[in-house]
Amino acid sequence: MKDGIYRDLSITDYHENKTHFSSSGLRHARKSLKEFWYYKEGHMKLEGSHLDFGNAFELALIDKEGFNNEVAIMQDSAWVAEALKEKPELKTPRNSKSYQDASKAFGLENEGKYKIMDTGSQSFETIELMLASCYQDSTIKKLLENTEYQVSAFWTDEETGLKCKTRPDICKLNKNVIVDVKTTDDGSPAAFSKALAKFDYPFQACMQIDGCISSGLMPQVDKYFWLVVEKSIPFSATIYEFSENDIKYCLDEYNYVKGLVQSATKNGLYPSYSQRADNKFGILTAEIPLWYRTI
């Protein structure tokens, strides 16, 4: 894959490219270079890259045609009704031959598509409620106007020579804005603050910012937002901004991690958590939690 901007690259082809590092790989390096090595060698799965429901929602929100072409809706309620029609005494109709045959045929017919249920939790019914929440917010509606969805950017980092790639959810090129869509059970400020740290969202955001500028997709990134939409009651949709000060701080760490990966790749050495030590021996100071101190 050559460096550049790709607007017609499928998400499958994007993930199958192994010549460029994505934020998923570099986030492992942020934890430890040893974990990064295991990921690089294919010993760890790419978590969260093909979550059907999240991808289906993004398509429904941004790319209606893409949703129709790439998402298959399982007629669960109809299959259950048909199974019960044949055998009303069934207590678990989804385990019936009728249901299983219908499910298998559906899978074969829609191989390669995102598959979601028609009703129930994380279903097409849920997506419609989430969309309604987004459309009720005038700021969100305006933010989603005149945007490009999942443009793939490939570039070579000037400082380290690392080949990198990123695929922002939404780019508003006329405003130099990136929007990353997150679906969650709890989109409250307190819960999202924890999710930011748990899933390294700021680190991912920094790589998207770097990629958009380095690939030439944008001359600069003036704003970065997370659009967080709950997939359960009350289906709240909230915009969170990545502040300028936090971006500067996180970019420094992002660049530091790239340097670690460059050095490890060059020397063939992938240490564990000792990379965080402030001494040449790689010895860390144990951090005793405050709650442990009783005196």
pLDDT tens digits, one per residue of 99-127: 999 999 999 999 989 999 999 999 999 99
| Residue 271 and residue 217 in one domain | yes
pLDDT of 15: 86
**What is the value of pTM for the model shown?**
0.89
Q: What number of other Cβ atoms are within 10 A of residue 230's Cβ?
A: 22
CA distance 124 to 117: 6
Residues 197 and 63 in one domain: no
Q: Which residues pair with 170 in a beta bridge?
A: 149, 179
Q: What share of the chain is helix, strand, coil (3-state, %, to 5)?
A: 50, 15, 35
Mark whether 74 and 192 lie in a shared domain: no
CATH assignment of the domain containing 193:
3.90.320.10
The total number of structural domains that make up the chain: 2
Q: Is 228 helix (H, G, I), strand (E, B) or coil?
A: strand
Say yes or no: 234 and 274 in one domain.
yes
Q: How far apart are CA 97 and CA 184, in angstroms?
A: 34
- Segments in the chain below pLDDT 50: 47-50
The CA distance from 163 to 85, in Å, is: 57
Alpha carbons 192 and 190: distance in angstroms, whole number: 6
Give the pLDDT of residue 294. Answer: 78
In a domain, 126, yes or no: no
Among residues 87, 121, 155, the one where a domain terminates is 121
Q: Do residues 98 and 112 share a domain?
A: yes
Please report the pLDDT score of residue 3 as a whole number.
95
Produce one character per residue of 245-273: b if its CB has 16 or more CB atoms within 10 Å, e if not: eebeebbeebeebbebbeebbeeeebeee
Same-domain check for residues 40 and 85: no
What range defines the domain where residue 71 resides? 53-121
User: What pLDDT sits at residue 1?
Assistant: 83
My answer on whether 238 and 193 are in the same domain is yes
